[in-house]
Amino acid sequence: MQDQLQSMCAIALRHPDARLSHPRAGIFVGHSTTPPSPGVFEPMVCVVLQGAKQVLIGDQLLRYDSASYFVATLDLPAQGCIVEATPGQPYIGASMALNRDVLAQLLCEVPDRSAGEATGFMVSAMTEELLATWLRLLSLFDRPEETAILGPLIERELLYRLLQGPQGAVLRQLAQADSRLSRIRAAIGWIREHFAAPLRIEALAEIAGMSAASFHRHFKAATAMSPLQYQKALRLQEARRLLITHGDAAATAYRVGYESPSQFSREYARMFGNPPLRDAALLRGSEPAIA
C-alpha cells in the first residue's frame, strides 16, 4: 500500500486544495499541526494519505491516519485538528461526499451483513482494494477531461467497497429512507434549521417517528451527544461566525437562542477556550485562534 500512498501524495501535492464536482471530492494539504477547529461534518468519507488528524464528536475522540479511513453519515458538529504535519512531510487528506442515490442503487446488489446499532460515524482500517479505488479517483485530478465519464464509475466502486466493509451497516441506514438513522437525520435537519428556537424532545421524537425515550437513546448512539448538546454546538458555532463580523456578545447570544448572556459566555469559553469578545478579537487580529 505504500507505493499507492506515495502516488496519491504526489497527485495531491500537484493539486493542493483542489475539488471535483462529480463526484464531490477534494484534496487538502496542511504544512503544520493545528489547534482544534469547530465545524460541521456533512455525510462524507475521508482518508489521510500522510500525517494524521484527530476529531472530537460529542464525547468521542477519533484519530485517523494512512492506515484508516473515517466515515460520517450525519451532519455532525465536531472539532478537528491536524496532529501530524511538518513543512517537509505535510498533512495530506482527501474526502468524498456520500451520494445517497448511488448508495440506494447498490443496496440490492451488495449482501446485507449489518447488525446492531448503527452510529453516525466510524473509523475503520484501510484495505488495499479501497486504497486502489482512491488512487483511481485522485488520478482524475491529473486528467480532468475523464471526470465526466469515469468519475461516476469510480464513485460507485468506492461506495461498493465501503458497503462491503465494517461500515456497511452505517451506509445502508443512510441510503434507506425509513431506517432508524434516516429518521434521526430528519430530526437533525429540523434542529439545524431552527437551532435558535427552544428544543422540545417530544416534537423531535414525533418527527423521527419514535417515542421520546427511544429517540433520545438512538440520537445519542448516532451522534455521541444528546439533542440539547447537538443544538448547543450549532448555536456556539454560529455565534462565533457572527462575532467575527459584529462583535456584540450580548446581541449575538440572544440571536442564537440564549436567554442569558452570562451563560452564553461561560459555554462559549468552554468550547473555544476564550470568552466571546477575546476569541473574536483573536480571530480578526494577527493572532488567529485557528490555523
Answer for the pair 193, 255: CB distance below 8 angstroms, yes or no.
Answer: no
For residue range 76-95, list pLDDT tens digits in order. Answer: 999 999 999 999 999 999 99
Instruction: Decide: helix, strand or coil at residue 267.
Output: helix
Superfamily of structural domain 2-174: Jelly Rolls (2.60.120.10)
For residue range 175-192, list pLDDT tens digits in order. Answer: 887 788 899 999 999 999
* C-alpha grid cell, residue 282: 483573536
Burial 154-175 (b: 16+ CB within 10 A, else e): bbbbbbbbbbbbebbbbbbbbb
**pLDDT higher than threshold 60 for residue 116:** no
> Region 15-41: what's the mean pLDDT?
93
Task: Determine the topology of domain 229-284 in CATH.
Answer: Arc Repressor Mutant, subunit A (1.10.10)
Under the banding of pLDDT at 50, 70 and 90, the label for residue 290 is very low
* C-alpha grid cell, residue 126: 484501510
